[in-house]
Structure 1
Amino acid sequence: MPFRKVQPEKLSATVVRQIEQLILRGILRPGERLPAERDLAERLGVSRPSLREAIAELHEGGLLVSRAGAGVFVGDVLGSAFSPALIRLMNGHDEAVYDYISFRRDMEGLAAERASRLGSDYDLQVVDAIFRKMEAAHLKRDPTDEAELDAQFHMAIVEASHNVIMLHMMRSMFELLKQGVFYSRQIMFRNRITREQLLDQHRAINTGLQARNAQAARAAVERHMDYVEQALTEQVRAERNEEVARQRLEHERGR
């Protein structure tokens, strides 16, 4: 008969599995600090030796890292998504920008559709809360906060889709966006009229999600990404025209 005696699981193994699950689901994020050992052991209901054993195993697997005098942190699990050579290559070619936007249009449209159907009420409340912060940040002259909330808004939708593969893939893509690999989000928010249109587009996405209208939410995401592509194209053209005009002016002054 294909039966084996049930072996009791070590407490440390249970801790390992729980922390792994939190990282996989994107709840614990790269660089996030874990609670102090005593506090974490109490929360998990295990002894400190059992916790240390679990931490050591997770550390060996690269999911956690220890920093002297600072504590234990979630490892950079996104770091291997793109090699440094590929990042430099994408950074130097404009076509990567438009491929990135096209990729986001498809993936985030799907994420919005899934979030409308599969997201919990709490998920949608998170999305709505971030959008309300965007509205408040929109009133500021400095667009920095609004640009940062823009990324958070889109990631919250991906998180609400409850697909861990999509979550980590898109999180790695947004890390590159934050580094300015594809384009600077600050450029998108520099123009006041553009900021108004972007806010309206995010409002339409949020409205579709809150109504759990999957078709409307996806369509709103696609319209938003189409606008981003158009705005970046116009920005590149404007910069090129400005350079040509500058050269003409220098030539005229030198005559």
Structure 2
Amino acid sequence: MPFRPVEPEKLSTAVINQIEGLILRGILRPGERLPSERELSERLGVSRPSLREAIAALQEEGLLASKAGSGIYVADVLGSAFSPALTRLFARNDDAVFDYLSFRRDMEGLAAERAARLGSDTDLQVINAVYQKMESAHDNLSQEAEAQLDADFHLAIIEASHNVIMLHMMRSMYQLLREGVFYNRQVMFKQRTTRDTLLEQHKKINTALQARNPAAARAAIDDHLGFVEQALRDEVKAQANEDIARQRFEHEKSKGPK
């Protein structure tokens, strides 16, 4: 018979399973500091030796990392998604920007559909809360905060889709976006009219999600990222035209008076 005696689970194993689950679901994020050993052992209801055993195992797995005199942190597991060489190649290649946007349009469209269907009421409240912060930053003319909240808004939609593979993959993509590898988001906030348009697009996405309308949510994502792509193409073209104009100007100055 295929039965075996049931063995009680070690406390350290239960701690490992809980922390792994929090990392897997994106609740504990890369770079986030864990509570102190005393506080964490009290929260989990386990002894410090059991907690230390669990932490050591998670460090060996590469999910946690210690910083001397600072504590235990969730490891930067996202950093392994792209090698440094490939990241530098992305940064040097303009075509990678538009491939990135195309990929985001596909993935985020699917995520928005899933979030509208599968997201909990709390998920949608989180998305709405981020959008409200975007409105506040917009009204206060805080471009940097608004750009950061832009990324947070899209990530909240990914989280609400409840697909852990998509979550970690897209978090890695957004990290490169924050670092300016694919494009500088500040480009999108140079003009008030552009910022107004972007906020309105995010409002439509949020409205569709709050109404739990998958088709409208996907369409709103598609319209938004299509606008971003065209705006960036226009910027690339404008920079090329400016370079040519400067060359003409320098050449004209070098000729001197007739």
Report the TM-score when normalising by structure 1.
0.99
- Measure how far apart 1:68 and its partner are: 1.0
- 1:182-229 deviation line (CA, Å, top 9, x unaligned): 100011111111101100000000000000000000100000010000
Matched to 2:230, the amino acid is: Q
| Distance (Å, rounded) in 2 between the aligned partners of 1:222 and 1:228 | 10
Moved over 3 A (4+): none
Which residue number corresponds to residue 119 of structure 1?
119
Could you tell me which residue of structure 2 aligns to residue 61 of structure 1?
61
Percent of residue pairs bearing the same amino acid type: 68
1:51-130 matches, cutoff 5 A? 51-130=51-130
Give CA-to-partner distance per residue, 1:53-101, whole Å, 9 cap, x none. 0000001111000111111000011011000111111111111111100
Structure 2 distance, partners of 1:184, 1:140, is 21
Once residues 56 and 141 of structure 1 are traced to their aligned partners in structure 2, the CA distance between those partners, rounded to angstroms, is: 46
Question: In the alignment, what sits opposite 1:237?
Answer: 237
Determine the C-alpha separation between the residues in 1 that align with 2:2 and 2:187. 64
Single out whichever of 170-179 and 134-143 deviates more from structure 2: 134-143
Is the partner of 1:8 in helix, strand or coil? coil
DSSP 3-state at the match of 2:73: strand
- Give the Cα–Cα distance (whole angstroms) in 1 for the partners of residues 59 and 88 of structure 2: 30
C-alpha distance in structure 2 between counterparts of 1:143 and 1:239, whole Å: 22
The CA distance in 1 between the partners of 2:137 and 2:85, in whole Å, is 36
Cα distance per residue 1:97-152 (max 9 Å; x no partner): 11100000000000000000000000000000000000000023341000000000
CA distance in 2, matches of 1:203, 1:139: 14
CA distance in 2, matches of 1:230, 1:27: 34
For 2:23, give the aligned amino acid.
Answer: I
Q: Does 1:221 align with 2:221?
A: yes
**What CA distance in whole angstroms lies between the structure 1 residues aligned with 2:4 and 2:246?**
80
What is the distance in 2 between the residues matched to 1:12 and 1:58? 10
Query: Counterparts of 1:121 and 1:202 in 2: how far apart (Å)?
Result: 19
- Greater mean deviation of Cα atoms: 154-163 or 139-148: 139-148
**Structure 1: distance between partners of 2:87 and 2:66:** 27
1:252 deviates by: 1.0
Please list every run of 5 or more consecutive structure 2 residues that lacks an aligned counterpart in the other structure: none
* Residue segments in structure 1 that go unaligned for 5+ positions in a row: none
Letter in 2 for 1:40: L
Classify the secondary structure of the residue corresponding to 2:79. Answer: coil
**Partner amino acid for 1:250?**
E
Letter in 2 for 1:65: A
Which residue in the other structure is 1:246 paired with?
Answer: 246
How far did 1:49 drift? 0.6
TM-score normalized by the length of structure 2: 0.98
Query: CA-to-partner distance for each residue in 1:144-180, whole Å, 9 max, x for gaps?
Result: 0000000000000000000000000000000001111
State the one-letter code of the partner of 1:124: L
Give the match for residue 178 of structure 1.
178
Corresponding residue number in structure 1 for 2:14? 14
In 2, Cα distance between equivalents of 1:63 and 1:6: 29
One-letter code aligned to 1:25: R
Instruction: Give SS of 1:78's match.
Output: helix
Q: Deviations over 1:12-34 (max 9, x none)?
A: 00000000000000000000000
Q: CA RMSD of the aligned region, Å?
A: 0.6
Separation of aligned partners in 1, 2:168 and 2:142: 30
In 1, Cα distance between equivalents of 2:211 and 2:189: 27
Partners of 2:12 and 2:123 in 1: CA distance: 31
Match of 1:102, SS?
helix
Q: Secondary structure at the match of 1:90?
A: helix
Partner of 1:146: 146
Counting matched residue pairs gives 255
